[in-house]
Structure 1
Amino acid sequence: MFEVAVIEDPVAAQAALDPARARLLGEPAEPASAATPAGRLGSPRQEVHHHLRARERPGPIEPAEERREGNVIERVMRGTAASSVISPVALAAVAPDPARAPDQLSARWLLAVAARLVRDVGHLVAAAARARRRVATFTIDGEVRFASAADRAAFAQRLAEAVTALAGEYHDEKAEGGRVHRLIVAMHPYVANGQDGDVEGGVR
């Protein structure tokens, strides 16, 4: 089972956004029929089966096996990931475009860039799964506590200069067989345990 699954199919995304179906997202972590989550959630078996089928195409649920008992065939489902994220590909009509209004100091532009990141990595993960290969990625996740807004601005400036210099050192426009990689560096006020945190301290 993967840690995160990216949902790109519009039908699967619609199913995941439905409140009743969303409750089932974490249910079939182990192979189980509709009767198992139905019992835990107190929902009719037929209703759960309908929701699972809607989420199956393609999404965080996949068929595991079929069991025949007399004239009844029971389809056993299993989760493909512990959690899911919906790619902007599934909502193409309203997907944000980072190229529309680039602004390094805009929180909304950061959202657009993050959405593009989900879209692109989702494509890479799907392609790598089909080819049974790993995706070459590198991630830095850290925290920086600034004493003042001026320090934050100075850090952002030096970070931009350092990344630009490093990228210039290794970027080779004419390298034969070279492959272009997208580089994203993001910084935002720290949010603790799903709470707002120091939001005011991060507002310009």
Structure 2
Amino acid sequence: MQDVEVIEDAVAAAVALDPVRARLLRELAVPASAAGLAARVGLPRQKVNYHLRALEAHGLVELAEERRHGGITERVLRASAASYVVSPAAVSAGAADPDATPDRVSARYLVAVAARVVREVGALVRRAGTGGRVPTLTVDTQIGFRSAADRAAFAEDLTAAVLDLAARYHHDDGRPHRLVVAAHPIPEEDS
């Protein structure tokens, strides 16, 4: 089971976002058979089987084991990932294209960059496979600005520091990494 799976396909996203199927995916963090899952979620086994087939067809659940009981084989399934993120590219191919937005200080540009990060890191995770590691770095912090002037001065200082570090550590023959530095106000309901 992967830690996180980025869903790129629109049909797979629709399958995963169905409320019943989303609940089954959460429940399948612990492997279960259709009968066991039906008892946990209070749905008929046939209905659970129907939804499990749809999830399995899109690679969202996988076979964990098969158990034989006399002449019957019980399939035990598990979610393919601990969590799922739907890539904006599943909705719109241009969603993850920052070059389509010339205004680099707009919210639209920031969302496009974030969408590209989701798409690119999702592809790296898929290529690395289960248990594979992807060399990433994340800095996440909060800062309070007293004024727009302080925010602008901070942006200038941060830009100079990042450009200095990039110039110091960049090598033309090195493996390229993408560095994204973003800032946005925290929505009031999250603070």
CA distance in 2, matches of 1:67, 1:29: 19
TM-score by length of 1: 0.81
Letter in 1 for 2:99: A
1:14 alignment partner in structure 2: 14
Are residues 1:137 and 2:136 paired?
A: yes
How far residue 138 of structure 1 moved from its aligned partner, in angstroms, is 1.0
1:63–1:77 CA contact under 8 A, matched in 2: yes
2:66–2:73 CA contact under 8 A, matched in 1: yes
Determine helix, strand or coil for the equivalent of 1:150: helix
| 1:23-62 → structure 2 map (5 Å cutoff) | 23-62=23-62
1:103 alignment partner in structure 2: 103
Determine helix, strand or coil for the equivalent of 2:184: coil
Determine helix, strand or coil for the equivalent of 2:140: coil
How many pairs does the alignment contain? 191
Deviations 1:124-172 (A, max 9, x none): 1111117x64211111111112222322222122212221222122223
CA distance in 2, matches of 1:101, 1:2: 33
User: Unaligned regions of 5+ residues in structure 2, if any?
Assistant: none
CA distance in 2, matches of 1:105, 1:181: 22
1:186 alignment partner in structure 2: 182
After TM superposition, what 4+ stretches of structure 1 lie above 3 angstroms from structure 2? 57-60, 88-96
Query: How much identity, in percent, do the aligned residues show?
Result: 58
Letter in 2 for 1:183: L
Letter in 2 for 1:134: R
Determine helix, strand or coil for the equivalent of 2:26: coil
Greater relative contact order, per chain length (Cα 8 Å cut-off, separation 6+): 2
| 1:74-89 → structure 2 map (5 Å cutoff) | 74-89=74-89
2:96–2:119 CA contact under 8 A, matched in 1: no
Determine which structure has the larger helix proportion and give its number.
Answer: 2
1:149 alignment partner in structure 2: 148
How far residue 59 of structure 1 moved from its aligned partner, in angstroms, is 4.0
How far residue 12 of structure 1 moved from its aligned partner, in angstroms, is 2.3
1:29–1:82 CA contact under 8 A, matched in 2: yes
2:89–2:115 CA contact under 8 A, matched in 1: no
